[in-house]
Structure formats: C-alpha cells, structure tokens
Structure 1
Amino acid sequence: MTSIPRRAQFGRLLRRSLWLLLGLSLGLPLLLAALALQSQPSVPAPPALEGVQLQQASDILRQNDPRQLPPGGLRVARLSEAQLQLLLGRLVNRYHEARATAQLAQHEALLEASIPLREGGTGPWLNIRARFQETGSLPRLRQLRIGHLPLPTWASDWLVRRLTERLTAQAELRVAGELIQHIGFAPGQLEMSYVWKPDSLKKALNARWPASEQARLQHYNALLVKLCEPHLSGTPVSVANVMPPFFAEALQRSAAGEDPRLENRAAFIILALHAAGEHANRLLPAALGWPRARPMPITANGREDFAQHLLVSVVLAIEGGGPLADAIGIYKEVADSRGGSGFSFNDLAADLAGTRMGLYAERDPAGLQKRLAAQAPEHDFMPRTDDLPEFLSAEALQQQYGGLQGQGYRRMMAMIRQRVDALPLYR
C-alpha cells in the first residue's frame, strides 16, 4: 500500500526536477544575456578628428616605415596612448558605430570596446573590458568582462584559443604574427618590436586581399580594360558615364548571390585607382600581370581632380567611415595650403560628396547599385563647385576665413554641406 504514494511522490519529484531543468535551460541563457548586454555604451563616442591628429599619424608611419629597414633588421615602433586611441577608434568605427579605448600602464593594458547589436548605434550594446599583461612575446589576456558578466579564467582561455585559431586562419593576421616579435606596455606608451624580411611588403599586401577579393578586383579591372578599349587615349569621360556599366555589373553579380557591399567596394577601388592614374598592383602585388586599361581621364564637373577627390573619398568612407574620409580631405587641403596647390573649398565639396556616396554604398548597397546603373547624371551626386574659392594659401585662409576654426570657414563648410545634402542621390 505504501508503494503507490512513494511512486506518486517520485513522480511529482521527477516532474518538478524536469520543470526546474527546463527553467534553467531557458532562463540561464536569458540571464547571461541580461548580464552581458547593456542599454548604453561604456565607451564614449570619439571626438571629431582634427588635421593635426592625422599629421601625427602620418609622422608615425613615416618614422616607422619598415621598408627603410635592411632585411632581417629589428625595429621598434612606439605609440603614445593618444595615438593608439586614434588607431583603435578608426579601426572599430567601420563596424556599426562601435567604439574602443585603451589605457596603458606598466606591463599591462586595459582595452574597452562598445559594440551596438543594431545598426545606427541604438543598442543593446555589448560592452567588453579586457586586461592584457605583457609577456616575453605577445601579450596575454588576464581578465575579460562582458557587460556585468566576468568570465572565469578557463572561459577566457578557451575564448582566446578559439579566437586565435580563427585569426591565424586569416593570411593578413598570420603575416603580422610572423613579423611582430614583442609588444610591451609602459605608462602612456605602447612599444612594438618587429622584423622586416625581404618579401614582407609583398606578403603583407597580398595577404590584405583574400583570394575571393583578389578575384573580385580582377573582374572589375577586366571590365575597366574593356570599357576603355573603344575610347581614344586621353579623351576625358564624365564619371557619370563610367559608373553605370560598373554598377550594372555589380547589381547583376549581387543578384546572383555576391555580397553587394563587397561588389561596390571592389568597383570603387578600381575606379579610384584609374582616376588617380594608378594600377591595381599599387595595392595588390599579385595584380602585376593583370592587363592595364588604356588612358582614359575621368572627370567630374569637367575636371579630373574633382573626379579623383570624389572617388578616393568614396573608398575612404567605405574603408574607414565618414569621419575619417572628411578629416583626410581637410588635412590634405591644409597641407596643400602650406606649400602645395593651395586650400580649395571646391575640392572639399567633391570630398564630401564622395564621403556621402561611400556611406550610401555601405548603408544601402543594392539601392546605390540601382541608382548608379540607371545612369544618374552628375548633378545628382556632384555639387556645384564653380563658385567655390580655391588655391588659397595658409595666410589667405586665415585672413579671409579665420582658419579652420573661424566663422567664415564654418559658414562656407555649412553651405557646401547643404549643397551635398540637397543632391537627389543623397536625399
């Protein structure tokens, strides 16, 4: 008689246990997600880039240009914390408004990143806090925290192993791992030792482009060669007449399953290189044997330099985001005013239009392909430039517009931005 109640008790216990296991299986991931995800970023938005920062970055690259090393020579590059912040900020900005920052101390570094899980930076946010410790070679991850969730050492080690496996599968990072010997930390400074080998530049550039991307660039290079063939050498062609066949091709390939963002990127890179008088082997040594297109100057508003500004700014915006493209455009104009061709507001207008086009290519890649394939006229994407001042010396820029911080300069830039905003392609 007692076996029935016992069986009933066992049955109730079993059901409760199953419900508990079910609750844990459903609730634990939700709890972990709640701890890991946050409504606000822990890293503040980076400040707008200034020309002086780009000058500093340019100086660093020039001082540490590994091509100046003898084969096998060991070189030490040093970055201040501010310079590292600049590089980190531009690196992660490509990924949907992500942010990153670093703090450098004796033999250790604290890196923080905030990554929105929705486009536009609306959150929820994945806030990551990682502490690295200096070793005899590459740094070791010592602590890792995601949101409110600290990861135990075994979980951090497992994650690092998996991440390392994935990263070393990428040729570009594998080459970097072969070159870098040691990374050290000191208060406010990062120090990196690397070895430059005879074939390092070629390997690094080729590794930058996976085989699929090399094939994509080669495809658009072949298309450029075909388009240039019937033109008389030296006969200028409007960028509005060059882009439609490129983006009709991109649209067709995207419909067949190719990534439209990568198609746009490859098409614009080939166009920008050609507009600048360069060949694909400037970026990809493996392209040395690719055929070269006949000379065909590309113009915008009747000028080759405007087409160069437009197309190069498109690529910069795709590669590094709008703020970087804008800042590089301003930096170049400032450099020109100090000994080059002079500061030109009309060049900046072309830069801003190119930045907008590049951001459009990322935000709505198929939409841009359709618009450009339909033979959008120049005035749909290129603002009026004939009334904008150019060839200003540094002294004239300061006297007439108050320099880059002056009210005159700000008014002129606001007017140019209004013109770009009003263009049909960007509305």
Structure 2
Amino acid sequence: MKRWFFRLILLVVCLALVGFLITDTQPPFATDQDSTLTLKQLTKANAPVYLPNEKLYQMTLLPSDATAVLNHGVTKIQRGFPNLAGVKAEYLQNKVKLQGALTWLGRYLTVSLEVAPTPEVPTVTALKVGPIPIPQGVTEWGLDTAQRYSRVQQLLSLYQTIDQVRVTPEQLVVKYQSRKVVSGINQQSRQLLFSPEQQQHIGFYLTAIYVFASQQQDVRLPSFWRLFQYLTEQAQQQVQQGASAVAQNQAMITALALYQSSFPTADYLANKALRGERRRIFYLHQRKDLARHFSFSAAIALYAGSEVSDTLGLWKELDDAKNGSGFSFYDLAADRAGIQFATYATQDENTARAVQQKIINTTADALIPRLNRLPEGMTESQFKQRYQNPESEGYQRLVKKIDQTILASQLYQ
C-alpha cells in the first residue's frame, strides 16, 4: 500500500515539475493590438452578406491584417474559453504557424501548431506543447478524435465553404463565393455561435415574437416599439426568477435580428404550431426599415463588435447610394442606435436591469429618436457632391449630431 502511495506522490511531483518547466510566468507574446481600423477596412471590402451571390471573390490579407482579425476573433470567444490568453500567427510558405497561450495554475502554457490549408480539412504538420514536440501519430489521433465533436464539425463545414486558401510569408489569399459562405453560416450559426443555454433563451424570445405577431393580424402597421416593450416585460419576469438581465437582453436582441432576417428559426421554437407562422414586418415611426436596421446592427455589435457593426451599416448605405434606394441618414441613425443599445444594455447587470425598466416607462423615441430633416435617398453622385466621403467634416458633424441625440435619450440618462 505504501509503495503505491509513494509512486502516486512521485507521479504528482513529476507532473508538477514538468508543468513548471514547460510554462512561463509571463505571457509569451502580446495580444493587445488595436484591430479596429483593420476590421473596418476588411469588412467594408469583403462582407459576404452584401456581395452578389454569383461571383467568386478574392480577399487578400497582409500577415498583420490576418493576425489582427485572428486576435479579434479570440476576444469574441474568450468568454467561452477563459483559459485562452491570446493567439499569434506566423505565415510561412503554404502553411500557417499558430501559437496559443493558455493560462494554467497562474502560469502560461504555449501550444503551437503548423497548419496547411488543404481543401477539405486543414492538415496539422507539427504540434508542440511548450517546448515538447508531439509525435505525428499522436497528433493525427487527436485530430481524428476532435473531429467527432459537433463544434469542430461545424467549423470544418464553414471552412469547406471557402474555395481556396493560399498562404505565403507576404500575404494570405482567400477565394470564396458569397452564396456558399452565407449558406454555410446560415446552416451552422445556431450551434456554432450559441451555447445550448443561449439557444434556449433565444428560443424563448423568438416564441414570444411569433405569439405577439400572431396577435397583430388585423393591425395595418404592427408596432416594433410595442413588440420591444412586450419582450422586455418577458425579460423582467425571467430576471425576477433569478435569470441574468444581461443574458436576457442579449437573447432578446438576437431573437429580434433572427426574426427579421432570412435565417431559419424553426429549430429554436419548441411550439411546433408556430413554425409555419408568417413573419410580420414591424414599423417604427411609421417606417418599416428602421426596426431591421436597429436589430441587425445591435446583434452584429454583440457578436462581432461595434466597429464591425458600424462599418457594415455605413457600407450598406454607401452601396444603397450606388445600387439601391439611396443613402439614408435615417437608416444610419437606426444602425447607430442599435449599436449603442446593445453596448449599453449588456454592459453589466445593474445597467441591464435599469434599461429594462426604462423601456417599460418610456416611448419609442427613447429607442430611436425622431430626427427631423435628415438627408435620405441620395444617389452616389449626390452624396459625393454634398459630403465627398465619410471622413469629411460635414459628414462627421452630422453623425456626431445623430449620436448626441441618441445619447440624450431617456434610456441612457
């Protein structure tokens, strides 16, 4: 008995010693670079949601751009992976060397792997844990095992929507069809983006939206504000039963965006009778576009960050000026109101609860203020004649005025 006990103690000591030797007291690399400008530029040029479906597009990234996007992604998933301290990428010929810093007992463990972007499944050609190389056979066994998990399968499904990836030390080139990418996101987003608990919350609010919409059959212009208040009342009831106000606000925003999108919602709905219900258009200030702009921008801000949401909203209006209904500052104001609401309403528990109460006691102007005499319907030439570009003083002055009006709302006082 004593012999087994001493062997166990020796094994624990050896593992602790190995753990000490292969970890560091400080993070092995910095991960705090500012990716805001990079993300704005890349989003504006390559957002697949807004690109025509039939074309093959090519996105070319400098190594610094690709690393900025990678680190931005890490900050967005860090809530689900609290031990991940950051990532670093080095771009080689036909492969990428990735390093991840993991926190372990107050120290930092570096895991590095070299990945070759082959067509179906990326190939890992080398793996190290700390300074210790892992045999290729063990690596392949681990990858085969990992591919059985649903999250990994979903990531691989999204990877397979990309037509080609080419890596050199100078650049990363990605070729894709917008239709395939959007379709892949459409199919995998529920499991990939949301935990089972989040899916349950989102399903709760989607069900509430469908129920509310079914009661508006005889209403000519169903009110988005009334819907918003109705959902907030449901959220308050959940919070009174011990739920997180932040989580409820996040789920409510997500459900509103999903309902008003083309994404399928049937899998979220426990009540099968609601799955065939037609989705209604909701109006705010007697306009049908404001609710969609508000909801989409709020949801994108939650999951991709306010800078990406802001850029997508601006780019959509510039595209409308060139190919659609024209540039509208009313739509842009709804975008910015959605970003502000998502940021504020999910800031912390106290703020989230306070916002819920204010929604119950205020009017639709608190959500998206009535802004008089804003330019809209401008063609590309009209926009350039009046504002030159979004960096011009005149444009920035008007956007600042819109932001100040939004922040003066009762919701944020």
Q: TM-score, normalised by structure 1?
A: 0.68
- Aligned to 2:114, which of 132, 143, 148? 132
How has the CA–CA distance of structure 1 residues 206 and 423 changed in structure 2, closer, same or farther, with 3 Å as cutoff? closer
Matched, 1:217 2:202: yes
Counterpart CA distance in 1 for 2:145 and 2:34 is 31
Matched, 1:270 2:251: no
Question: Unpaired segments of 5 or more residues in structure 1?
Answer: 1-22, 69-75, 117-123
Question: 1:362 — aligned with what?
Answer: 346
Question: Unpaired segments of 5 or more residues in structure 2?
Answer: 1-12, 80-84
Is the deviation greater in 212-221 or in 316-325?
A: 212-221
Q: Which amino acid aligns with 2:116?
A: E
* 8 Å CA contact retained: 2:337, 2:368: yes
- Matched position secondary structure for 1:298: coil
Counterpart CA distance in 1 for 2:311 and 2:158 is 30
For residues 171-191 of structure 1, the C-alpha deviation after alignment (integer angstroms, 9 at most, x for no partner) is x43244368679865312356
Question: 1:309 — aligned with what?
Answer: 293
Question: 1:239 — aligned with what?
Answer: 224
* 8 Å CA contact retained: 2:329, 2:374: yes
Q: Which amino acid aligns with 2:408?
A: A
- Written as runs of structure 1 = structure 2, the 5 A alignment for 1:53-72 is 53-58=42-47
Report the alpha carbon displacement of residue 340 of structure 1 after superposing the two structures with TM: 0.9
Matched, 1:394 2:394: no
RMSD value, Cα: 4.9
- Matched position secondary structure for 2:114: strand
Residue correspondences, number:
382
* 8 Å CA contact retained: 1:205, 1:284: no
Question: 1:332 — aligned with what?
Answer: 316
Report the alpha carbon displacement of residue 158 of structure 1 after superposing the two structures with TM: 8.8
* 8 Å CA contact retained: 2:58, 2:175: yes
Report the alpha carbon displacement of residue 349 of structure 1 after superposing the two structures with TM: 1.3
Counterpart CA distance in 2 for 1:238 and 1:60 is 27
Counterpart CA distance in 1 for 2:125 and 2:236 is 44
Matched, 1:81 2:61: yes
Report the alpha carbon displacement of residue 43 of structure 1 after superposing the two structures with TM: 4.8
Q: TM-score, normalised by structure 2?
A: 0.70
Counterpart CA distance in 1 for 2:409 and 2:24 is 43
- Written as runs of structure 1 = structure 2, the 5 A alignment for 1:15-414 is 35-37=25-27, 41-48=30-37, 53-58=42-47, 80-82=60-62, 84-85=66-67, 87-88=69-70, 90-95=72-77, 102-111=89-98, 130-134=112-116, 137-140=121-124, 142=126, 150-154=130-134, 168-170=148-150, 172-177=151-156, 186-187=167-168, 188-189=171-172, 204=188, 207-208=191-192, 211-256=196-241, 258=243, 260-274=245-259, 276=260, 278=261, 281=264, 290-291=274-275, 297-364=281-348, 367-374=351-358, 375-377=360-362, 378-414=364-400
Structure with bigger gyration radius = 1
The percent identity for this pair of structures is 18
Counterpart CA distance in 1 for 2:22 and 2:241 is 39
* 8 Å CA contact retained: 1:180, 1:192: no
How has the CA–CA distance of structure 1 residues 329 and 78 changed in structure 2, closer, same or farther, with 3 Å as cutoff? closer
For residues 333-371 of structure 1, the C-alpha deviation after alignment (integer angstroms, 9 at most, x for no partner) is 100110211111221111111001112243225632442
